[in-house]
Amino acid sequence: MSDAGARPGLVASAARWGLALGSSALGLGAAVITHPASPALAHRILKATAAIGQRIFGLEVVLDDRNHGAYDDPPYVIVHLNQTSLIENFLHAWSAPIPYRIIVNIEFLLLPIFGWANLGLGSRVVVRQRPKQAKRVIRRAIDDLRRGESYLIAIEGRRSPDGALQPYKKGAAVMAIEAQATILPYMTIGAHERLPVGEWRVRPGRVDAILLEAIPTRGLTYDDRDALLARLRALAERELAAHRAASSGR
């Protein structure tokens, strides 16, 4: 993974954000309109919108699909193992091989354009400060999975301030096990270097989007949730260690 490029100046950064938000508003609006009739078409629109945002910010996104495009075991719970940056909003749909709904924190809905559009795309909203409400949302998401819909969820629940892994929450594992859905572990490497928490100027450069090998949950029970969580954590730690070793050897 290449080092972060030079941080753009204030005017250039503001211009890029203006272009990115404008194009995102158009693309997300079109996706919201088409989603009820054709989630697949809405997903293609989201992919194209994300690709435009990547070009605006000078992101070189490299997709590593360890499943080689074979996604014939739905529904899926796409589990983002390391949430590090707002710039990942321009990566998720582009990387995901299938249409999906999202479970988001209520704070995310306050984001202009991105947060608002998620309501129209069928997102489920959790309130971290209200555990009972969050559990109800997870139950509804499990019902959606059983009907064949797929989901994307960030397993940490919030962005990492320093790029390191944060504690994992059990919701993603419980969702997948209860619905007997296939887990698709997903990671982004380099997003934190492009746009750390607290920054707004995006450094151009490379970001790796990795779809790790899918994990079936058929036959697992609620009692297996901790072991599954530990397996996902070990996958993330191993992947991050491999990238650190590769970077130090260059």
**Residue 128 pLDDT:** 65
Write out pLDDT tens, residues 18-44. 999 999 999 999 999 999 999 999 999
Give the pair of three-digit tokens for residue 198: 């607290």
Write out pLDDT tens, residues 146-187. 999 999 999 998 899 999 999 999 999 999 999 999 999 999
Residue pointed to by tokens 């993603």? 172
CA atoms within 13 A on the CB side of 218: 7
Residue pointed to by tokens 């945002």? 53
What average pLDDT is seen over the chain?
93
**Residue 2 pLDDT:** 45
| Spatial contact of 71 and 95, defined as CB atoms under 8 Å apart | no
**Residue with more model confidence, 112 or 166:** 166
Task: Spell out the domains of the chain, with CATH numbers in brackets.
Answer: 59-248 (3.40.50)
| pLDDT-above-90 percentage for the chain | 79
Alpha helices in the chain (DSSP H): 10-34, 39-57, 92-95, 114-120, 131-146, 171-179, 191-194, 225-248
Residue 53 has pLDDT above 50, yes or no: yes
**Residue with more model confidence, 126 or 117:** 117
Residue 60 has pLDDT above 60, yes or no: yes
Residue 1 has pLDDT above 60, yes or no: no
**Residue 134 pLDDT:** 83
| Spatial contact of 54 and 163, defined as CB atoms under 8 Å apart | no
pTM of the model as a whole? 0.93
**Residue 126 pLDDT:** 77
Q: What is the mean pLDDT of residues 80-95?
A: 96
Range list of β-strands (E), 21-173: 59-65, 76-80, 101-105, 124-126, 151-154
